[in-house]
Structure 1
Amino acid sequence: MTILYEHPPAFGVELEEKNIPVDHDGQENELVLDGGFIVPDANSFGHTFRDYDIESERQKGVEEFYRTNHINQTYGFVKRMREEYGKLNRVEMSIWECCELLNEFIDESDPDLDEPQIEHLLQTAEAIRKDYPDEDWLHLTGLIHDLGKVLLHPAFGELPQWAVVGDTFPVGCAFDESIVHHKYFTENPDCNNSAYNSKYGVYSEGCGLDRVSMSWGHDDYMYLVAKENKTTLPSAGLFIIRYHSFYALHRAGAYRHLMNEEDVENLKWLKIFNKYDLYSKSKVRIDVEKVKPYYLSLIEKYFPAKLRW
């Protein structure tokens, strides 16, 4: 099976999903991406990736997480969080220092991952690096995409997990039915507010996703940190950081009526990135000290030595 994606001309690359090996029963059992990265057929718990329905203790916790998330992520809440954390007055530290800080946390919203976050960051970055050796900005994006999870740390207010992780979605307009555990939005006050519960809500067709308020969490926070600290990452890198958990868009195609032309181009890169973000969650360990010099060089290229957080 081969699937080709169109990519922005400025970067001029293409993604190829190569032939899938077949097991003894004639069943497809793994996916090999360009460069040899193998997509496993099960997560670290032995289940299908992003399966939110299978019965398990962890799945019950994930569902409860989304119930709380969907009730509390309102347009007003997001506005308050952006105003507070957009000041970037919590601490000054480097990108790598932030990577090390994330070692302390496990993402409770993720049904596929129980490893420390730095393991996932490096797994993602190294898998991308193998398949796209010339796109160093994409390697770095893989490394830093989840750094906003420092919001869980006491120095950042120790926000509850429902305000830091999980799938993201627009607020200020109707909640699309493709959003995981959509049923819990019925308890969200915005569902009964005519200003926010229509298809467009406070937005207009083609307004651009940069004008859309997303549910608050690590994605939007890291986007603000990168943008306000004057990163030189291309717009596709910032797009990936802000929308990598926006599964309703890049998996279900929802909310496309709010996108502009730049969003459409950047979405092509996000769909590439998502394969590595999702399927690189494995038990393969990364030699941190071996790869650290390379990523430090990328950090120096695209970011200042110290960032305001």
Structure 2
Amino acid sequence: EPVRTLVSPSAKRCFLSWYPSAAAAAPPPSLAGVTAPPPDTVMASAAWGGEASSGGMAVGCKRRASSCASTQAEAGPERQRARRVDMFRVEVRRVGSEVKVVLFDESRRGSAGKIICSLRPHETAHVDSISVRAADRGRGLGRLLLQQALSELGELGVSQVTLEAEEDAQRPNRLVAFYNKEGFVQIPQATVQHLHVGDSYLRKVPMRTCLKVGQRLRPRLYPEDRILTVRVVRSDGSTLACENDGSLCLQRPGGATDMSEWVLNCHSCEEGSSISSSSSSSSSSSSSSSSEGEDDGLRQTNWSDQGGSENVMRLGGVPIPPAGGGDSSTAWDPCGDARLDSRTHRWTHASRMSLQSTSQGSFLSAMPTGGLTTQEEECAWEEFEVEPLDERACAFRTVHGKYLGFSWASGALQVSDEPSAWFISIDRREVAWAEKAHYDQARRMRRMQTVDFVERQRRNHTGFQLGRLGLREALELLHRFHHPSLPGLGVSYGEFLIAAAEAARSNGHPDWMQITALIHGCGVVAALLPLQKNTECTGATPAHPPEAIVVDDEAHTWALGGASWVVGCAIPDDIEHAWLNKLNPDKKNPQLCTPLGAYPAHCGLEAVQLTWSSEEYLVQVLRHNRTSLPREALAAIRYQSLDVWYKKGAYNDLANDGDKDLVVWVEVLREITDEARNTLRRPTKAATPSLDEVWPHYQDALTRYIPQQVLEW
């Protein structure tokens, strides 16, 4: 039969699959408004949710395996393993007295796991079997199946569920402890059976749990929902983990990862629900606050819309990268690059999400008081609404109106009034976080920094007409400036530079590296001097306290940091927030979209133009004032934000052997600044020494490497 239909009477859901015949001359007619695919495609399982009158069908379509065989063969086994991702969906099937919850992997045939329950008299049910595919064990999927089965049984009016925990007698209580966490207890006075199966010695422990009327169950999953096993990652690479006692902690890169995996449940929003109506208003408010609300090419989408023709899975209207995640030569385009159509799938939209620890089984929940917990409490809320910030970033909002994010000061996960930007990585293995101000700055720079802009800024600033200022006066000026890259630390930028210099000094670095750490951020003066002059000349009352200087004009936002890149050639796909590359106006010039662009091969990074930044400006100032700092010091300053080169290996076609020798010093300065940030984050940090206290130590070295006492800026 060309069409097979399975109807679930209890849930009023219909699952339809179409199997094309090889001898069919033409595809079958469209069904329920959905046009059948061409003969060279195979339909995946499709779900139709809601009442019969609501209609609407979501169809997944993927290429026939034979058409992709050559591509997979070229990729090789290691490449295939690196690109393999897992996205799951749940289906509930009821036939007579049997209730089956099946977990499917979208990238492979067959089920990844299932649980079979049988309904029994007197509002009871028994779990007959639960199994998870060997390759997917240890990822919390068995717990997820059990919880979904309990949710389904609860809706059917079951008040008691029993099972037999069949475990290895040589490792007793491991499986029993697993079921204990899910609310099961051993049945008193029940017989524990001991069995010999081959070489194994097993025991069966009868257990039960009671489902009370009105009991709060875990967030229920529907066929339209999708499940990912991910890590929750901070911008510094640390991952969120759940300890054995349920407390949250951060694991540093390279540490143990057994407690840092989470199950991300992407919940679709049913039409007409209260969350859908409230989310529409929150979406419009978030759109107005996103990146100054400008139309910069990344259109704002209605994240609660269930329809649409885009062939992309969306988390709150924000596309999730397709299975396979793209290859190293082609970045995934969330706006639908025609080259990538064959590698994307059509999914329904998700408006809510929840996070469940795979090691402990507990859900991340928001408290009315503003805190977070993994304990089961009646007042805690386990689902977060998803608000889009643009085509790839979204914010997670609690039901209490606050936003999920990490604290820059303490590093802990928290909820706050300010939204944070969250992203799903290209390989769908990470949910990454970025502070929204940092993300907005990256967005501005990607839109602003072009060849013409850099050349114009270079002409304007290399005339050195801003004024004359000594380095001590520059540091005093920076003591009145709070850099947006240091939120929550409670220190000025001048204090941070002193902390960096002291870190270099305590680690025994040479005096020129100590001076480099002290002055590497002084290029921000280019943005502060014009603001100070305007206030002094006009006599206007500043909008901020007189001791503070705030850079809030578009003309000087280039001095506020962000990732650097080489202008005049293609922006690397490995740069942070690579999907913002499409905003850059130079993308319209084909000559500037190649790896070499306007430069000869291996010309050296000294011969290329970087984005105009405070580091680039400071190097120009030091050279103009005839510094004797070594070449390594100037390179450490200039390339400090070019981590796409020294961390990710971009621009190998432009760099020469001399550039490779400088990488170590760039990394040394980065380690020094990271150590200073970590020191300032500590709750019991010592007071940062004042400029008067440290100046006598650095004055002699400054005089030796920068002879001019007053510099031209």
Could you state the TM-score of these two structures normalised by the residue count of structure 2?
Answer: 0.36
- The aligned counterpart of 1:136 is 511
State whether residues 120 and 280 of structure 1, in contact with CA within 8 Å, keep that contact through their aligned partners in structure 2: yes
Structure with larger RCO (C-alpha < 8 A, sep 6+): 1
- The aligned counterpart of 1:286 is 688
| 1:305 pairs with 2:709 | yes
- The aligned counterpart of 2:496 is 120
Take 1:217 and 1:177, find their aligned partners in 2: how far apart are those partners?
Answer: 21
- The aligned counterpart of 2:627 is 231
State whether residues 466 and 526 of structure 2, in contact with CA within 8 Å, keep that contact through their aligned partners in structure 1: no
* Structure 1 residues 30 and 246: alpha-carbon distance in aligned structure 2, compared to 1, 3 A threshold: closer
- The aligned counterpart of 1:83 is 459
Take 1:88 and 1:144, find their aligned partners in 2: how far apart are those partners?
Answer: 18
Take 1:29 and 1:220, find their aligned partners in 2: how far apart are those partners?
Answer: 31
- The aligned counterpart of 2:445 is 69
- The aligned counterpart of 1:174 is 570
Pick from 390, 407, 411: which aligns with 1:46? 411
SS in 1 for 2:650: coil
- The aligned counterpart of 1:244 is 640
* Structure 1 residues 246 and 95: alpha-carbon distance in aligned structure 2, compared to 1, 3 A threshold: same
> CA-to-partner distance for each residue in 1:104-145, whole Å, 9 max, x for gaps?
222224568553111111111111111124x10000000010
Unaligned runs of 5+ in 1: 1-23, 32-41
* Structure 1 residues 170 and 148: alpha-carbon distance in aligned structure 2, compared to 1, 3 A threshold: same
State whether residues 442 and 562 of structure 2, in contact with CA within 8 Å, keep that contact through their aligned partners in structure 1: yes
State whether residues 498 and 689 of structure 2, in contact with CA within 8 Å, keep that contact through their aligned partners in structure 1: no
* Per-residue deviation, 1:257: 2.3
More strand by share: 2
Of 137-146 and 88-97, the range deviating more from structure 2: 88-97
* Structure 1 residues 80 and 198: alpha-carbon distance in aligned structure 2, compared to 1, 3 A threshold: same
* Per-residue deviation, 1:236: 0.3
* Per-residue deviation, 1:162: 3.4
2:688 maps to amino acid: I
More helix by share: 1
| 1:276 pairs with 2:656 | no
State whether residues 208 and 259 of structure 1, in contact with CA within 8 Å, keep that contact through their aligned partners in structure 2: yes
SS in 2 for 1:93: strand
2:603 maps to amino acid: C
- The aligned counterpart of 2:528 is 153
* Structure 1 residues 47 and 265: alpha-carbon distance in aligned structure 2, compared to 1, 3 A threshold: farther
Take 1:52 and 1:242, find their aligned partners in 2: how far apart are those partners?
Answer: 28
1:145 maps to amino acid: H
- The aligned counterpart of 1:195 is 591
* Per-residue deviation, 1:215: 0.7
| 1:102 pairs with 2:478 | yes
State whether residues 209 and 258 of structure 1, in contact with CA within 8 Å, keep that contact through their aligned partners in structure 2: yes
- The aligned counterpart of 2:301 is none
* Structure 1 residues 111 and 70: alpha-carbon distance in aligned structure 2, compared to 1, 3 A threshold: farther
State whether residues 52 and 111 of structure 1, in contact with CA within 8 Å, keep that contact through their aligned partners in structure 2: no
SS in 2 for 1:307: strand
Take 1:56 and 1:28, find their aligned partners in 2: how far apart are those partners?
Answer: 14
Structure number, greater radius of gyration: 2
* Per-residue deviation, 1:246: 1.0
SS in 2 for 1:257: coil
Take 2:712 and 2:654, find their aligned partners in 1: how far apart are those partners?
Answer: 31
SS in 2 for 1:280: helix
Identical-residue share of aligned pairs (%): 27
Take 1:245 and 1:170, find their aligned partners in 2: how far apart are those partners?
Answer: 11
State whether residues 603 and 656 of structure 2, in contact with CA within 8 Å, keep that contact through their aligned partners in structure 1: yes
* Structure 1 residues 267 and 203: alpha-carbon distance in aligned structure 2, compared to 1, 3 A threshold: same
* Per-residue deviation, 1:87: 0.8
SS in 2 for 1:195: helix
Take 1:72 and 1:255, find their aligned partners in 2: how far apart are those partners?
Answer: 21
* Structure 1 residues 233 and 305: alpha-carbon distance in aligned structure 2, compared to 1, 3 A threshold: same
State whether residues 122 and 143 of structure 1, in contact with CA within 8 Å, keep that contact through their aligned partners in structure 2: yes
CA RMSD of aligned residues (A): 2.9
* Structure 1 residues 186 and 292: alpha-carbon distance in aligned structure 2, compared to 1, 3 A threshold: same
Take 2:485 and 2:500, find their aligned partners in 1: how far apart are those partners?
Answer: 18
* Structure 1 residues 210 and 56: alpha-carbon distance in aligned structure 2, compared to 1, 3 A threshold: closer
Take 1:82 and 1:118, find their aligned partners in 2: how far apart are those partners?
Answer: 25
* Structure 1 residues 167 and 106: alpha-carbon distance in aligned structure 2, compared to 1, 3 A threshold: farther
Take 1:77 and 1:237, find their aligned partners in 2: how far apart are those partners?
Answer: 26
- The aligned counterpart of 1:267 is 663
Take 2:588 and 2:485, find their aligned partners in 1: how far apart are those partners?
Answer: 26
- The aligned counterpart of 1:219 is 615
* Per-residue deviation, 1:57: 11
State whether residues 70 and 185 of structure 1, in contact with CA within 8 Å, keep that contact through their aligned partners in structure 2: yes
SS in 1 for 2:674: helix
State whether residues 124 and 143 of structure 1, in contact with CA within 8 Å, keep that contact through their aligned partners in structure 2: yes
Take 1:267 and 1:176, find their aligned partners in 2: how far apart are those partners?
Answer: 18
2:579 maps to amino acid: K
* Per-residue deviation, 1:45: 3.9
* Per-residue deviation, 1:47: 5.0
> CA-to-partner distance for each residue in 1:281-304, whole Å, 9 max, x for gaps?
132432122211111111111111
* Structure 1 residues 52 and 241: alpha-carbon distance in aligned structure 2, compared to 1, 3 A threshold: farther
Of 279-288 and 140-149, the range deviating more from structure 2: 279-288
Take 1:185 and 1:264, find their aligned partners in 2: how far apart are those partners?
Answer: 26
Take 1:58 and 1:206, find their aligned partners in 2: how far apart are those partners?
Answer: 34
State whether residues 574 and 648 of structure 2, in contact with CA within 8 Å, keep that contact through their aligned partners in structure 1: yes
Of 111-120 and 233-242, the range deviating more from structure 2: 111-120
State whether residues 523 and 618 of structure 2, in contact with CA within 8 Å, keep that contact through their aligned partners in structure 1: yes
Take 2:635 and 2:660, find their aligned partners in 1: how far apart are those partners?
Answer: 11
- The aligned counterpart of 2:557 is 162
* Per-residue deviation, 1:28: 7.5
